[in-house]
């Protein structure tokens, strides 16, 4: 089928079966923000639940990859840390020197082999995050910052190694935000709407990058973030991608804030209302979409859905509080391995995938706590992968046992998988509200029992 650059045509695209079956992806946030590798540690994890306003969240952002935006808050913790460690006049872009020195020892094949070992089915890496630094030698270099790109073709090298392991390849790109083009601080709900460069030059720059990344590196996953420039050719890009990569899949973060809306929010009462609403969402932990406009799947962040969602979705999160490497995170700040496994099961039971993030150090070293948790997940999948990969959600996602252990369900034709999210203390358990036909076979660790 040939897709046209219209919303109606693009909405007819079907999620490829491989993405339904994949369940587990690896997210990689790696860039020059991995050099300072610093963000305040907060008592709670993810999506700002520990804050009461957007301003408070942005000023004390637990996401280390937002270092440059947070650095622009006068008198904030990032600015104080930066001045204490690097000096008042040390420019952010100078981190590129240390990053490019570090990646000389990076071994992409070791990464790919590890991802294969833990049963990841696809990998998505940040080709350009919000700071504008490029991880590939683009034919369209940053026109504002000279030599503002990695000294190795990180996207190309990792793409080759990942594909060689039989793993699907995906590319992340920060669409509407590029702090080299727009130095305005994101510090409120209004500034989120108003963020990003609005002129045609940046829109053309972003368009050229997406076409280049698609043509040169042939991703199976196209993952845009935050939104896209209003003057950018979103529909044309997606139609081109679908037509050339029928098995490709696209995320949902392509919203475009019109210039009319940007003008409208200059009205003081409306600005106040938008900021008030945004602050309320921050307390609740952010916004989770309920309806797709463009793209194939929802992308809640550090969040899940309560029930089975018919539209395909993917939950992304860090193993700690940040996506980019944060040197302040210690063992206690990372999700426990057993909780990661429970969360993964819960997501899959509701028609979701888990895109779990690693935040490498500048030299490509993956922090040991991250290795440990992903290895534990991989070892669990060594035994239980059959009940995860290639499954669908069942007619209901969950129940409990007679001992109040949470239970989740996944299914294949003729098979029902029952996941207990804790270890029973008794030798006999009852699964509440589960009625099986007489003669059904229960298989537990290769032992079969006949139901009388």
Name the band, by pLDDT with cuts 50, 70 and 90, for residue 451. Answer: very low
The predicted model scores a pTM of 0.94
Name the band, by pLDDT with cuts 50, 70 and 90, for residue 276. Answer: confident
* Residue 44 confidence (pLDDT) above 60: no
- Burial grade of 452 (CB within 10 A; 0-12, 13-18, 19 or more): exposed
Name the band, by pLDDT with cuts 50, 70 and 90, for residue 47. Answer: very low
Residue ranges, CATH 3.20.20.80, the chain:
7-387
pLDDT value at position 199? Answer: 86
* Residue 152 confidence (pLDDT) above 60: yes
Q: What does pLDDT average to over the chain?
A: 92
Name the band, by pLDDT with cuts 50, 70 and 90, for residue 220. Answer: very high
pLDDT value at position 198? Answer: 74
Count of Cβ atoms closer than 10 Å to residue 64 Cβ: 28
Using DSSP, state whether 155 is helix, strand or coil.
helix
Spell out the alpha helix ranges (H) of 137-250.
154-164, 189-193, 200-217, 234-244
pLDDT value at position 283? Answer: 65
Count of Cβ atoms closer than 10 Å to residue 230 Cβ: 19
Backbone angles phi, psi at 37, to 5 degrees: 45, 55
Per residue in 95-123, pLDDT (tens digit) is 999 999 999 999 999 999 999 999 999 99
Section 364-370 average pLDDT: 98
Per residue in 162-183, pLDDT (tens digit) is 999 999 999 999 999 999 999 8
Fold classification of 7-387 is TIM Barrel (3.20.20)
pLDDT value at position 289? Answer: 64
CA distance 29 to 64: 10
Per residue in 57-82, pLDDT (tens digit) is 999 999 999 999 999 999 999 999 99
pLDDT value at position 452? Answer: 38
pLDDT value at position 241? Answer: 98
């Amino acid at each position: 089928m040939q897709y046209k650059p219209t919303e109606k045509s693009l909405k007819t695209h079907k999620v490829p079966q491989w993405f339904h079956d994949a369940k587990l992806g690896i997210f990689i946030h790696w860039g020059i923000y991995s050099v300072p590798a610093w963000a305040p540690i907060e008592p709670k994890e993810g999506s700002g639940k520990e804050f009461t306003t957007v301003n408070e969240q942005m000023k004390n952002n637990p996401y280390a990859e937002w270092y440059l935006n947070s650095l622009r808050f006068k008198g904030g913790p990032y600015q104080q840390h930066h001045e204490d460690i690097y000096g008042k006049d040390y420019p952010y872009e100078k981190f590129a020197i240390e990053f490019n020195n570090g990646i000389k020892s990076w071994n992409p094949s070791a990464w790919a082999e590890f991802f294969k070992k833990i049963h990841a089915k696809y990998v998505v890496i940040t080709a350009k995050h919000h700071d504008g630094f490029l991880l590939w030698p683009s034919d369209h270099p940053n026109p504002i910052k000279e030599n503002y790109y990695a000294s190795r073709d990180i996207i190309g090298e990792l793409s080759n190694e990942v594909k060689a392991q039989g793993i699907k390849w995906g590319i992340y790109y920060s669409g509407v935000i590029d702090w080299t083009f727009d130095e305005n601080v994101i510090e409120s709900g209004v500034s989120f709407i108003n963020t990003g460069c609005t002129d045609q030059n940046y829109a053309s720059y972003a368009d050229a990058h997406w076409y280049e990344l698609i043509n040169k590196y042939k991703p199976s996953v196209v993952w845009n973030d935050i939104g896209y420039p209003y003057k950018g050719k979103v529909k044309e890009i997606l139609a081109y991608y679908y037509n050339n990569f029928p098995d490709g899949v696209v995320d949902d973060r392509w919203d475009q804030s019109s210039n009319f809306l940007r003008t409208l929010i200059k009205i003081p009462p409306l600005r106040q209302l938008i900021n008030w609403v945004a602050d309320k969402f921050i307390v609740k932990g952010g916004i989770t979409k309920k309806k797709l406009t463009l793209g194939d799947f929802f992308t809640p962040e550090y969040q899940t859905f309560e029930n089975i969602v018919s539209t395909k979705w993917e939950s992304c999160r860090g193993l700690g509080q940040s996506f980019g490497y944060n040197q302040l995170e210690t063992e206690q700040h990372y999700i426990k391995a057993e909780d990661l496994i429970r969360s993964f099961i819960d997501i899959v039971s509701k028609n979701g995938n888990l895109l779990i993030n690693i935040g490498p150090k500048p030299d490509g070293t993956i922090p040991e706590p991250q290795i440990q948790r992903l290895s534990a997940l991989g070892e669990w999948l060594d035994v239980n992968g059959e009940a995860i990969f290639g499954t669908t959600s069942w007619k209901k996602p969950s129940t409990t046992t007679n001992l109040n252990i949470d239970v989740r369900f996944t299914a294949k034709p003729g098979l029902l998988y029952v996941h207990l999210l804790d270890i029973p203390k008794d030798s006999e358990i009852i699964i509440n509200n589960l009625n099986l036909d007489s003669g059904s076979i229960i298989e537990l660790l290769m032992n079969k029992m006949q139901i009388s």
